[in-house]
Structure 1
Amino acid sequence: MTDVADSSSIRRLSEWDAAELRTLTEEYGSPLYVLDLERVRQNYRRLVAAFPDADVLYAVKANALGDVLSTLREAGAGLECASAGEVKRALEAGASGSEIHYTAVNPPAGDLDWIVDAWGDHPALTVTAGSADTIDRLADRGYDGRLCLRVNPGIGAGHHEKVRTGAAAKFGVPAERAVDVLEDAADRGFDVVGIHAHVGSGVSSDQLDAHREFVARMGDLARDVAGAVGDLEFVDVGGGFGVPYREDEEPLVLESVADAIRDALGAVDARLTIEPGRYVVADAGVLLTEVNTVKDARETTVVGVDAGMTTLIRPAMYDAYHPIRNLAADAAASSGEGGRETVPQTVAGPICESGDVFCADRELPVSERGDILAIGNAGAYGYEMANQYNSRPRPASVVRGDGDVRLARRRETVADVTRPEREARRISAADRKTDDPRASDSDNDLVR
């Protein structure tokens, strides 16, 4: 097995067509997310080829755009969902219950109510519980269907401490208690089908030893569970496969990772399941943003853009690095005659927070007002974590695929931001008029 990744296993920001991206900004405005559906397909196929003996479920939380889910469903992917809303999206994308895993973390009552109702129509749905308490709450609602237990193996890995879930107390039942919890669930009539754990997000090559130990513990636990409650259908070791964000980083050799996982898991009478998200969509997306201000500060040049931490929060939240490229025609020739020189620049957004920066003192071609900057590897956890802080509307998204580019999500307006307040006032006025709060039930349904 080669230890060198194929060049096609990562799409660098430099490989996107600058003229096409500039044209998209002219047509659809800025900020703008662009997602390449063919790249999504390619990444999924690469995973299936590396893990031919496993079920590959896409982690919807990485990018829940309907076009992404439909594309992956057509390619044969199952869907791992972290909320009732994601399950609803999965069903709308054409997934059947047997192709959906609902992995709850401290699920709100409304989520469990919705899931149990959906289970009535989709009895093959798998529910993953992360505590004995969640199992009790499911039983209280009459659920005794397919149950997977999320366990905490005590090992975490990932690109930032905030995403290392494998040892965090929030996630899963301690592994040493898992057999007892599952024995109790089986005695109560649940259909125990699997165990699940997730080491963390963005696991890099230098963290693979920790990942192997994590998988080995899952294999040991699976054998213990099989001895106590019978054979499992699957052992789910999550996803977390990292992608290179920095230009000089090399991608994971996926085939070697797959071999290591199989070896670490050992002999189990259950099917391996993985749940990649970032690996599928990260390099399939870019964020486009327009320069609106260039300011010489004391120690740097500040380049103000119309995207901010409300548009892409990863740099502010995780100190995450994203490649940045100036798409101006002469910026591409910055190292040659007639091109722009490069200078240290701090690219900052319009949010009233000092953390609202995409990079600090990074060498980039000199920026000018009106330039379009592309921020790479924005397909994962970009729009999904976007928000309306400072009353800023969320951006639009376009998708490209099958030779076409189209709007996939319209740009929000300030009216969209304030709509729940206007609807609340209308509902309150209707309640006062009728003196019967039940009269506005249909309106409440509208704003939920």
Structure 2
Amino acid sequence: MADSDLDNSPAVRRLADWDDETLGSLAEEYDTPLYVTDLDRVTENYLRFSAAFPEAHVMYAAKAHTGKSVLESLLSVGADIECAAWGELQRSIDAGADPNTLQYTAVNPPDHDLDYAVDLADNAPGLTITIGATDTLDRLQERGYDGRIAIRINPGIGTGHHEKVATGNDAKFGIPYEQVPEVADRVREEFDLVGIHSHAGSGVLTDDLEDHCRAIERVGEMARRVGPLEFVDIGGGFGVPYHEDEPPLDLEKTAEMVREAIGEIEAQLKLEPGRYIVADAGLILTTVNTIKETPSATVVGVDASLATLIRPAMFGSYHPMLNVTAPEREAHPVTVGGPVCTSADVFATDRPIARPERRDVLAIGNAGSYGYELASQFHSQPRPAEVALEDGEARVVRRRETLDDVTRVEQ
């Protein structure tokens, strides 16, 4: 991508910026519910973020969207991949990643995960394993591993859009701050200590940066205490605006505040954006099947559900919605829900949307991050297809599941 193309790439892509006619055609051709991922937007977002941190090594946090087409697109523009589980390691390799460039952030890793990582490192000594518990060091030693280790720090400060993602103050994640120097001494004796790592939380926007940078300051302080190091990894967590009236993350201000917070370090700065790269590059198309007028609400039933997108049910997340079929109609407040038998299966309550009618196609925006990754087969619903857009062309990158796919593993 040329620099001029990147300059013309907006900091956030709103749902209204998608082409209604294109989306309607995709729904007609591929049926709904349907995930749509714009791979050009994925690479634009990565390149924009990287340009804001020219001195840093920017990796992609695969857990946000591990689809092969997304990984291939990011690898093609020079991204490396950070993985949180063995399956993400394997899928990154399948997409073309050099295992020597991968970073595996182990959180209470099952035995199978550690077995896989250690076996992988036998032939890929550049693989880095990030540990968040001394118990993991013991288990790695039992497997004969003495390679590259990064220590995940718990800075005692959590940030982000929801308490369930404020990992920087959650005992589940990382070595307690004051224990890090002692653990670093042990790692140097028994392994190859190459870095320290921290991740304060997710969904951080400009107004959250002060808290986020307080956590980064503590990481910088610890880096100076336990150095020398090859790298200092401050994780990701940088967000996108889900509400239409929220401003996008100010990347220039973010980069300036991060540099000031980390301070002088004799190490490579690493960042691991995930949500920022893929969130506004993806959406869901869903078809209206029911309109029900009640004394308290107009209920619009659609064929997507919490099995398609669980974020509203899990986090109370807001996702913008648009009537693709008739955006010009007068907006009416409606409640939009799916076919799952729980009150949690609701995408919007009293949301003004161009008055939906049966067979209209609605779009649910900002679904590219932690959308398909958290999709399930609840109610024996096969998971949806995913179509990728690239250079003006559409192609199926994940076929629609069938009931045979749902039941195949049963015996």
Q: Verify same fold: TM over 0.5.
A: yes
String of CA shifts for 1:126-171, please: whole Å, max 9, x gaps. 0001100001101110111110011100000000000000010100
Shift of 1:255: 1.4
SS in 1 for 2:409: helix
Aligned to 1:220: 221
Match of 1:253 among 250, 264, 277: 250
Q: CA RMSD in A?
A: 1.1
Match of 1:156 among 147, 158, 170: 158
- On the 8 A contact 1:246/1:322 being kept in 2, the answer is yes
Aligned pairs for 1:306-385 within 5 A:
306-328=303-325, 331-333=326-328, 340-385=329-374
Distance 1:17 1:384 in 2: 25
String of CA shifts for 1:77-132, please: whole Å, max 9, x gaps. 11000000000011111111232100010000011111111111211100001100
- On the 8 A contact 1:119/1:125 being kept in 2, the answer is yes
SS in 2 for 1:216: helix
Distance 1:258 1:98 in 2: 28
Distance 1:370 1:362 in 2: 19
- On the 8 A contact 2:388/2:397 being kept in 1, the answer is yes
Aligned to 1:298: 295
- On the 8 A contact 1:81/1:87 being kept in 2, the answer is yes
Aligned to 1:100: 102
- On the 8 A contact 1:33/1:397 being kept in 2, the answer is yes
Distance 2:308 2:230 in 1: 40
Distance 2:210 2:100 in 1: 33
Q: Residue type of the partner of 2:405?
A: D
Aligned to 2:404: 415
Shift of 1:341: 2.3
- On the 8 A contact 1:99/1:125 being kept in 2, the answer is yes
Aligned to 1:52: 54
Distance 2:81 2:62 in 1: 6
- On the 8 A contact 1:288/1:373 being kept in 2, the answer is yes
Shift of 1:414: 1.0
Q: What residue ranges of structure 1 are gaps of 5+ in the alignment?
A: 334-339, 426-448
Q: Residue type of the partner of 2:284?
A: L
- On the 8 A contact 2:238/2:276 being kept in 1, the answer is yes
Q: Residue type of the partner of 2:129?
A: V
Shift of 1:384: 0.2
Aligned to 1:33: 35
- On the 8 A contact 1:97/1:126 being kept in 2, the answer is no
Distance 2:407 2:256 in 1: 51
Distance 1:135 1:389 in 2: 37
- On the 8 A contact 1:152/1:166 being kept in 2, the answer is yes
Aligned pairs for 1:380-391 within 5 A:
380-391=369-380
Deviating 4+ runs (over 3 angstroms): none
- On the 8 A contact 1:309/1:349 being kept in 2, the answer is yes
Aligned to 1:207: 208
Shift of 1:332: 2.1
TM-score by length of 1: 0.89
- On the 8 A contact 2:9/2:44 being kept in 1, the answer is no
Shift of 1:402: 2.1
SS in 2 for 1:9: coil
Match of 2:384 among 377, 395, 410: 395
- On the 8 A contact 1:349/1:357 being kept in 2, the answer is yes
Distance 1:319 1:152 in 2: 26
Q: Residue type of the partner of 1:316?
A: A
Of 113-122 and 368-377, deviating more is 113-122
Shift of 1:6: 8.8
Aligned to 2:3: none
Aligned pairs for 1:263-302 within 5 A:
263-302=260-299
Distance 1:355 1:212 in 2: 34
Of 94-103 and 214-223, deviating more is 94-103
SS in 2 for 1:397: strand
Q: Which structure would you say has the larger Rg?
A: 1
Identity %: 55
String of CA shifts for 1:365-420, please: whole Å, max 9, x gaps. 11111000000001000000000111111100010102321000000111111110
Aligned length: 405
- On the 8 A contact 1:326/1:372 being kept in 2, the answer is yes
- On the 8 A contact 1:152/1:173 being kept in 2, the answer is yes
Shift of 1:267: 0.7
String of CA shifts for 1:6-26, please: whole Å, max 9, x gaps. 981000100101111111111
TM-score by length of 2: 0.97
- On the 8 A contact 1:84/1:115 being kept in 2, the answer is yes
Aligned pairs for 1:19-168 within 5 A:
19-168=21-170
String of CA shifts for 1:50-94, please: whole Å, max 9, x gaps. 000000010000000000000000110110000000000111111
SS in 1 for 2:265: coil
Distance 1:7 1:357 in 2: 32
Distance 1:93 1:99 in 2: 13
